[in-house]
């Protein structure tokens, strides 16, 4: 049986017709400066850091925070994430968040890794508090914000509303934003088409998928042509978010955050 000629058949799946970012655009609302230089995200393994506390006082153990960050940098991490799920984000005050990110930034710079990107978790129930956390992250030395979707009233959120939320955050954040899809925690699951449409925003520079949905991850990769170890692509970064799916993530040609 002869193969069907599809060369003139239009692709009606909109996920594969999303606009790619302009690679010459400075994808941030603040230009790079000596105090806040641009540290590019590069393909590789990004490590979500633990937060450490004194067992006696429950105060932050900044010395151990610093040692842990440097150890991960020396091990070959391409970037570090503070205030992720492993970083006790849900239990930290804004001041504690700032201390952890600042300690991490200073520690890796002093150890000889000044260009290592630091990504800070900045998710909150409201747009205004999320932007406050983005500002705290920026002032503390983080170069990027990792943002969960709001989930307090998740039954009321439609995908268009969630898309508008991320666009509002990205439009006002002082640092570039990565979308964090973690349905097991938030109860909100962003689909590949919504994520691909967000890739067209100049201040939305990546997505982390901690949903173990390899089909979704590969559909997103096909739609946005992300940066990989072999090609720069569109510059948009796609991350798998589970160590259990590291092999599948690498087969898809994208990065891993563990």
Residue by residue, pLDDT tens for the chain (258 residues) are 444 444 444 444 444 444 444 333 344 577 767 677 778 899 889 999 999 999 999 999 999 999 999 999 999 999 999 999 899 999 999 999 999 999 999 999 999 999 999 999 999 999 999 999 999 999 999 999 999 999 988 888 999 999 999 999 999 999 999 999 999 999 999 999 999 999 999 999 999 999 888 899 989 999 998 877 677 778 899 998 887 777 777 777 666 666
86 is a catalytic site residue: no
Which among 18, 19, 38, 20 has a CA at the least distance from the CA of 28? 38
- In this structure, are strands 204-209 and 177-181 parallel, antiparallel, or unpaired? parallel
Strand partners, 255: 239
Which of 46, 180, 182, 216 does the annotation list as catalytic?
180
Which of 46, 163, 182, 208 does the annotation list as catalytic?
208
pTM value is 0.85
Angle between helices 62-74 and 94-110 (to 10 degrees): 50
């Amino acid at each position: 049986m002869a193969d069907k000629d599809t060369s003139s058949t239009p692709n009606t799946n909109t996920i594969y017709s999303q606009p790619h970012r302009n690679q010459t655009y400075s994808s941030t609302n603040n230009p790079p400066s000596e105090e806040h230089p641009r540290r590019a995200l590069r393909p590789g393994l990004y490590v979500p850091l633990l937060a450490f506390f004194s067992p006696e006082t429950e105060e932050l153990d900044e010395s151990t925070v610093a040692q842990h960050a440097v150890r991960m940098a020396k091990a070959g991490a391409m970037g570090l994430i503070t205030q992720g799920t492993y970083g006790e984000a849900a239990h930290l005050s804004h001041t504690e968040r700032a201390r952890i990110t600042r300690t991490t930034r200073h520690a890796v710079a002093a150890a000889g890794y000044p260009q290592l990107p630091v990504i800070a978790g900045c998710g909150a129930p409201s747009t205004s508090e999320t932007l406050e956390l983005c500002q705290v992250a920026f002032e503390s030395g983080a170069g990027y914000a990792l943002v969960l979707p709001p989930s307090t009233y998740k039954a009321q959120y439609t995908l268009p509303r969630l898309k508008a939320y991320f666009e509002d955050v990205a439009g006002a954040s002082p640092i570039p934003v990565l979308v964090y899809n973690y349905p097991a925690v938030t109860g909100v699951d962003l689909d590949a088409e919504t994520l691909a449409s967000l890739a067209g925003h100049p201040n939305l520079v990546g997505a982390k998928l901690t949903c173990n949905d390899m089909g979704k991850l590969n559909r997103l990769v096909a739609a946005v042509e992300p940066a990989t170890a072999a090609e720069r692509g569109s510059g948009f970064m796609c991350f798998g978010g589970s160590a259990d799916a590291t092999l599948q993530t690498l087969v898809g040609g994208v990065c891993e955050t563990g």
